Chain A
């Protein structure tokens, strides 16, 4: 009986994790997400870190940003992000980061806040988005500084 309790607890924990992996539903209005994913504004400094970190946003792998000139190796896959905040508003930027294929159907850019409808995802990433909601908000706040 004593042995059963930890086992039952473990199972409960596992199923709780599974429940945490419910498909993300984005609140898209007119090719944009007007509401913050966390209900709060993001932090641009934290967003810059997420933007640069290779295991998180890794955005420079594909994009160029003049403001980040001190960083090496800006990629050429995607457009330059200089002045991106003058081309898109916050709500549009949020959707572009979260799930860009909803706007640019042919883009190779990954969705950073999507956790279903993907193919052969490695088990450690299955059911999880690339970034958390808070990280997406932080990246959006950083993009807002690129005027």
Chain B
């Protein structure tokens, strides 16, 4: 009897070792970029590296990547006049392919006028209400997410390059505080999963570093593009916490801080994730 259990234990250990090796094997394949001095990670790794071969292939093929439907829709909207000023985005900004290059990689950005940082969604609505005299688009609306995706796509391949000093620094500190604060009945902080446990298998999924370089991202689970603040909301809700509101100061601060955690990663919008 004891021999039987003994051999079972050996088998179990062997199985665990094998699965551990498989995991290490995948980890070895996860390519990242070296983090700047003083950063929390040694290597900054995009969520892309944590996804399956199939999911990566879907992202890499512009014809198959479902996020490109949004890019195409917004390319048309870019040229479409809306609002009482009779303007389109193009009236002021010309060809997005040249004028919007790099814009999405540097958001959120300080606004002197508002005396606070604004993200891409907010800047789009500022343009609409102030310069086009058009209605702002609601957060999570197809229009706003499409346009955000389209503008961010113009920075694809460019490094995430947010500024965190000067007037941004209290916002950065606020975002950091939120990142490390445990919330909800399950008492988890962003850091509990994405800093302490990234790369590990959690139920049916590998936990990533929680990088934002691919947002808005096409989530296979939802079959649509998900803007970053909706993802933040989802995480907080899932730990049974009350999420902050999308586009709130709290999520703006968190967006800034998390962008810094991924500083230098290439923008991948529209990325494909689980």
Contact B12 A125 (CB under 8 A): no
Minimum distance in angstroms from A133 CB to a CB of chain B? 16
With A121-B242, A125-B240 known to touch, is A80 a contact of B202 (CB < 8 Å)? Answer: no
Q: How far is the CA of A122 from the CA of B235 in the complex (A)?
A: 13
Minimum distance in angstroms from B195 CB to a CB of chain A? 10
With A110-B187, A111-B187, A118-B187 known to touch, is A75 a contact of B201 (CB < 8 Å)? Answer: yes
A17 contacts the other chain (CB 8 A): no
Query: How many residues belonging to A are interface residues under a CB distance threshold of 8 Å?
Result: 26
Please classify the interface of chain A as helix (H, G, I), strand (E, B), loop, or mixed, using the class held by over half of its residues. loop
Contact A76 B187 (CB under 8 A): no
Minimum distance in angstroms from B254 CB to a CB of chain A? 13
A87 contacts the other chain (CB 8 A): no
With a cutoff of 8 Å between Cβ atoms, the chain B residues found around residue A72 in the complex are 204
With a cutoff of 8 Å between Cβ atoms, the chain B residues found around residue A80 in the complex are 16
Contact A73 B16 (CB under 8 A): no
Closest chain A residue to B186, Cβ basis: A110
Contact B185 A118 (CB under 8 A): yes
With A108-B188, A108-B192 known to touch, is A119 a contact of B241 (CB < 8 Å)? Answer: yes
B181 contacts the other chain (CB 8 A): yes
Instruction: Give the interface residue-count category, chain B.
Output: 20 to 34
User: Which single member of A66, A108, A120, A130 contacts B241 (CB below 8 Å)?
Assistant: A120
Q: How far is the CA of A73 from the CA of B202 in the complex (A)?
A: 8
Binds B, one of A26-34, A35-43, A57-65: A57-65
Minimum distance in angstroms from A143 CB to a CB of chain B? 17
A77 contacts the other chain (CB 8 A): yes
Contact B237 A130 (CB under 8 A): no
Minimum distance in angstroms from A109 CB to a CB of chain B? 9
A144 contacts the other chain (CB 8 A): no
Closest chain A residue to B8, Cβ basis: A66
8 A Cβ contacts from A118-134 to B? 118-123, 125, 128, 130
With a cutoff of 8 Å between Cβ atoms, the chain A residues found around residue B183 in the complex are 118-121
B75 contacts the other chain (CB 8 A): no
Closest chain B residue to A114, Cβ basis: B187
Closest chain B residue to A115, Cβ basis: B185
With a cutoff of 8 Å between Cβ atoms, the chain B residues found around residue A62 in the complex are 202
Contact B184 A118 (CB under 8 A): yes
Contact B185 A77 (CB under 8 A): no
8 A Cβ contacts from B240-257 to A? 240-242
B193 contacts the other chain (CB 8 A): yes
Contact A82 B12 (CB under 8 A): yes
Give the interface of A toward B (CB within 8 A).
Answer: 58, 60-62, 64, 66, 72-77, 80, 82, 108, 110-111, 118-123, 125, 128, 130
What are some 16 contacts across the A-B interface (CB < 8 A)?
A61-B202, A74-B201, A75-B200, A75-B203, A76-B23, A77-B197, A77-B200, A110-B185, A110-B187, A119-B187, A120-B241, A121-B183, A121-B184, A122-B242, A125-B184, A130-B185
Closest 4 CB pairs of A and B: A108-B192, A76-B200, A125-B185, A61-B203
Give the interface of B toward A (CB within 8 A).
Answer: 12, 15-16, 23, 181-188, 192-193, 196-197, 200-204, 236-237, 240-242
New A-B pairs, 8, CB < 8 Å, besides A118-B185, A119-B184: A64-B16, A77-B197, A111-B187, A120-B241, A120-B242, A122-B240, A125-B240, A130-B185
